[in-house]
Amino acid sequence: MTDLVRKNNNMQKKGICVFAAGIVEGTADGNVSSAAGNHLLGYLPPDSLVLNTHIQVQVVSDAATSASATIGTASAGAQLMTGANLKTAGKQGTSVSGVETGTGVPIWLNVAKAGGVTAVAKYLVYIQYLEYEKNTGEYTKLS
């Protein structure tokens, strides 16, 4: 029997995707500099909707005055997340949800620091997004 409640592929289940990047400050291969700067981390795929973005600070920065970060789709931008305090442990930053990626966008970690600093900080950049054109092939049961 044909299900007359559904139109096209509406109600097909979607999978939530996560971009996660572990960041360690230092001079070793793969680390980011402990100095202020903009770092290209990767790319989000086309036709996606960003749901949540934050930084999970695991080891706090020892910057003498301040250490903060934003996450953007442009160098020095804050299109995805603002205001992460890298001197405080735990979940940091204010997510800018509802950003659509269009044909795909770069992910930039933008770090600002003041005062003397050594390479000690460790944190996780977390971006949750939905690829709305992709489906699992399953349908949600409607009653």
CA atoms within 13 A on the CB side of 123: 29
Q: Enumerate the β-bridge partners of residue 131.
A: 48
| Residue 55, pLDDT score | 98
Instruction: Please state, in angstroms and rounded to a whole number, the distance separating the CA atoms of residues 5 and 9.
Output: 11
- DSSP letters spanning 57-69: EEE----SSEEEE
Render each residue's pLDDT in the chain as its tens digit; 143 residues. 344 455 666 667 778 899 999 999 888 777 888 778 999 999 999 999 999 999 999 999 999 999 999 999 999 999 999 999 999 999 999 999 899 999 999 999 999 999 888 878 999 999 999 998 887 767 666 65
Instruction: For the chain, give every domain's residue range.
Output: 17-128
Q: What's the pTM value of the predicted model, to 2 decimals?
A: 0.85
| Residue 5, pLDDT score | 54
What is the β-pairing status of strands 90-92 and 66-72? unpaired
In 3D space, the residue among 27, 68, 73, 34 whose CA is nearest the CA of residue 50 turns out to be 73
- Report the chain's terminal Cα–Cα distance, integer Å: 15
